[in-house]
Structure 1
Amino acid sequence: MRDHAGQSGSTEAVAFESEGNRLAGRLAHPAGPPRRVVVINGATGVPAGYYRAFADWLAETRQAAVLTWDYRDFGSSAVRPARESRARMSDWAVADQQAARDCAERRFPGLPIWVIGHSLGGLGLAYQAGLGRIERFVAVASGPVHISDHPWRYRPVAAGFWWGPAALAVRTAGYLPARLGPGADLPGGVFRQWRRWCTTRGFSAGDPALPPPRGAELTGTARFVVASDDDLCPPATAWRHMRSFPEARHEQAVLRPEAHGLRRIGHVAPFARASRAVWPEIVGL
C-alpha cells in the first residue's frame, strides 16, 4: 500500500515478523532509485510516527529508502492491551531491531545499510548478528545510563520514576500507563527490565536475557550523537557506549541548541520537526 509522501517520493506500509510477533512499519522511498537503506530504531515509548518527518527528509536528501517501525505490543504493532503483553526490553532491543534490519536487507539486497538508533534504539545493536554488513551506525541520545550518571538536579526525578507511582502502577496494573511514562502505554516487562538496567552498575551486562555481545563485528562507522542539554543521557554515557564497538570508526558529535537557534533539544527532541536544523549534524554526512 502506498500513499503520497510529498514531491520527493512515496511511502509504503510494511509488516514483518519477530519471533512470531507481527511488527508494523513504514518505508519512505526517495524519488529515484535508492542509494542506501536506513533503519530507524525508536526510543522507549516513542511511536514510529514521531520519526516520520526525519525519515522523509532522509529519503529526499540522502536518496535513501527509510524504514520506521514499532516494537512488539507497542504503537502500530500493538495487537493486545499492554497489560497482557509479555514483552521485555531485551526483546525490543535485540530480536525486534534485528527483524527490522533483516526486513530492510531483504527488500533492498546489496544496498549499503545504515542504522539510526534513538536511545534504546541504539543499545541493542551490539547483541545482533550481521554487523559486518552495516556501513553506518548512528546512536542518538543512547548510552548505558546508571542513575548516578544523571546531573544532580535530575536524579530525584529519575528516582521518583523508577520507584514511585510508575513502579506502583506496573505492580498493580501489570503495565505502565501513558500518563505515568514517556507518553504511551508500556508493557510491564519492558518497564521492569528498563529499571533494572538503569539502576544497576554495568547496565545490562550480565543480563541472562541477552545473548553474548558481538559489537566487535561492526567495522563500519559508528557515530555517537548527544545533546548538550540531555539530562537523561549525558555525553559521558554515550562515549562509554563507544566501547561496545571497538573495531568501528568512531565519530562523536554534541548538539548544542544555541548553535542552531533552538531553546532546547534534550533527550527526545533531536528528531522533532522543530529540530530540523540539527538533522544534518545527526547524520554527519
Structure 2
Amino acid sequence: MPEGAVEQAVDFATPDGALLAGRLTLPPHGREPALAIVLHGATGVPRDYYRRFAAWLSVAKDAAVLTYDYRDFGASAAGPVSRSDATMAVWGVVDQATALDHVCQRYPQAEIWVVGHSLGGMCLPFHASAGRVARLIAVASGPAYWTKHPWRYMPAVIAFWFLLGPLATLMCGYLPGRLLGLGADLPKGVFWQWRRWCVSRGFYRADWGRTMPHPVPDRMTGSVTLVGIADDDMMPPERVRRLAEFYPAATIRHRVITPAEAGAKAIGHLRLFAERNAQAWPLLLEGGV
C-alpha cells in the first residue's frame, strides 16, 4: 500500500435488497476529499484485484476511491453461485448505479469520477447520477462482437461462446470459470446475457426495453477517456473506440496503452491494474487525443 493510504469497509444495499461489499480508500491527511472516485470492475474480477491501484489513485489524486464486488460475487457473495439470479444487466445497471449513488451521497460537494474496467465502463448512460460525473475513464471497455477479434483469438472465442461455455453452464448451473481457466465462477444469468450481447451485432442494444431499461445517453456531459490496450485480443482498441457511440454528449478522448509503456512484455485485457504494470497507471489520468 502507498504510505498513508487508509481503508474503510463500507457495505451498501441496492434498491432490490442486495448487499454489496465495498472498500473505501482514503488519502492520508484526514481531510474531506474534494474528489471522489468509484471503480466499477470487469466481469469476474474481484475488488481485491484493484486494491493497489485504488490506493495509488487515492494518494495520487488526493481522492476517496470506492471499490466493491457485484452481487453474488467475491466479497458480496451471499450463497452458492448456482442459486444466483444475477445477470450482466443487474450488475451493470443496478449494482453500478448503487455504487455511484453511494459515492455521490457520501461526498455531495466533491467532484465525481468513474473508472470503469470492461463492463465497468459501459453502463453509465443507465445511471440516474451520471450527470454528477465529471470524468469517466473507461479501460478495455466497448461493444464486443464475436467476429471482431484477431484471428489468433478466434478458437478461444468459438469455444467460449458456442462450445465449452454453454455446455459447462448447462451442466453445472453456473459458469465454472475456475475449471475453464477464467479465474472465477459466474452466475448462469451473467454468462447467458454476456453471451447474447457478444453474439449480437448491436451488443447490449438487444436487451434495451426488455431486461434493461433504455439508456439516457445525454446524461453524461463530462469528459470520457476511452483507453484501449494495444495487445488486448478480448477487447481490441478498435472496439474500445466504438464505445464513443454511447456517450454522444460527452467530450471524448482516446488513448491506447502499449506493453512497452507499462514496462511489460504483455498486458492483455485484464492485467493493466496489476501492480507489476503500475508504471502505466499515470497514463490513465492523461487526457488522450
TM-score, normalized by length of structure 1?
Answer: 0.96
How far apart are the structure 2 equivalents of 1:30 and 1:127? 30
Counterpart amino acid of residue 196 in structure 1? R
Aligned position for 1:193: 193
Aligned position for 1:26: 23
Q: In 2, are the aligned partners of 1:46 and 1:182 still within 8 Å (CA)?
A: no
- 1:87 correspondence with 2:86: yes
Residue 11 of structure 2, aligned match among 6, 9, 15 = 15
How far apart are the structure 2 equivalents of 1:270 and 1:195? 24
Counterpart amino acid of residue 279 in structure 2? A
Counterpart amino acid of residue 271 in structure 2? A
Aligned position for 1:283: 285
How far apart are the structure 2 equivalents of 1:233 and 1:184? 19
Give 1:283 deviation, angstroms. 2.1
Flag as ranges the 4+ runs of structure 1 deviating above 6 A. none
Give 1:260 deviation, angstroms. 3.3
- 1:242 correspondence with 2:238: no
Q: In 1, are the aligned partners of 2:104 and 2:132 still within 8 Å (CA)?
A: no
Counterpart amino acid of residue 194 in structure 2? W
Backbone CA RMSD of aligned residues: 1.2
Aligned position for 1:61: 60
How far apart are the structure 2 equivalents of 1:181 and 1:94? 27
Give 1:125 deviation, angstroms. 1.2
Q: In 1, are the aligned partners of 2:200 and 2:206 still within 8 Å (CA)?
A: no
Paired residues for 1:1-285 under 5 Å: 7-18=3-14, 19-32=16-29, 33=31, 34-177=33-176, 178-180=178-180, 182-207=182-207, 208-284=210-286
Deviations 1:18-37 (A, max 9, x none): 12100001000011221200
Deviations 1:91-127 (A, max 9, x none): 0011000000111112111100100000011111122
Deviations 1:5-53 (A, max 9, x none): 5532310001001121000010000112212001000000000000000
Identity of paired residues, percent?
Answer: 45
Gaps of 5+ in 2: none
Equivalent residue of 2:205, what SS?
coil
Give 1:80 deviation, angstroms. 1.0
Aligned length: 281
How far apart are the structure 2 equivalents of 1:122 and 1:40? 9
Counterpart amino acid of residue 143 in structure 1? G
Q: In 2, are the aligned partners of 1:221 and 1:248 still within 8 Å (CA)?
A: yes
How far apart are the structure 2 equivalents of 1:52 and 1:143? 24
Q: In 2, are the aligned partners of 1:166 and 1:181 still within 8 Å (CA)?
A: no
Gaps of 5+ in 1: none
Counterpart amino acid of residue 267 in structure 2? I
Q: In 2, are the aligned partners of 1:23 and 1:69 still within 8 Å (CA)?
A: yes
How far apart are the structure 2 equivalents of 1:262 and 1:9? 26
Give 1:181 deviation, angstroms. 5.4
Counterpart amino acid of residue 20 in structure 1? G
Deviates further, 86-95 or 250-259: 250-259
CA separation of 1:259/1:43 partners in 2, compared to 1, >3 Å: closer, same or farther? same
How far apart are the structure 2 equivalents of 1:198 and 1:206? 10
Counterpart amino acid of residue 97 in structure 2? Q
Q: In 2, are the aligned partners of 1:138 and 1:224 still within 8 Å (CA)?
A: yes
How far apart are the structure 2 equivalents of 1:260 and 1:83? 38
How far apart are the structure 2 equivalents of 1:92 and 1:283? 25
Deviations 1:203-243 (A, max 9, x none): 01030111111121111100100110000001111111011
Q: In 2, are the aligned partners of 1:39 and 1:101 still within 8 Å (CA)?
A: yes
